Amino acid sequence: MTKTPQMAAENYKLQRKRKLAESLAGIGMVVIAVTMLLTLLNLDNLAFMGVCKYIFAFGALIFTAARSINVSPEGESMRLRRMRRMEFWAGVSFLVAAFFWFSTGT
């Protein structure tokens, strides 16, 4: 099967979207991990924890937004689609964790 220029352009756009989504998700996960590590190392500093919850929420928002981008081509396997759906729900779980961190008042 020969590829038309239109199919090549669509494939290129999908690859760029996928690269953007993966980069943003990686940045979000690093922000979440570093924030949690710094919080655990400084449990006695409440002012620092107050700043960390905003950074954590920002990382969770970036990760969830990245996982909300549809990067699945038409004929992709159901296994990969389910895995991407699970990653999205992991991001929602991070957002719920951020909500509870804000609701405790610490």
**Tens digits of residue pLDDT in 72-95:** 878 888 998 899 899 999 999 999
Question: Do the beta carbons of residue 59 and residue 35 sit within 8 Å?
Answer: yes
**pTM of this prediction?**
0.85
pLDDT of residue 71: 83
Q: Residue ranges of the chain with pLDDT lower than 50?
A: none
CA distances from 65 to 50, 58, 59 (A): 23, 10, 10
pLDDT of residue 76: 83
Which of 56, 63, 79, 81 is closest to 21 using CA atoms?
Answer: 63
pLDDT of residue 90: 96
pLDDT of residue 55: 96
CA distances from 39 to 84, 91, 94 (A): 29, 20, 15
pLDDT of residue 73: 79
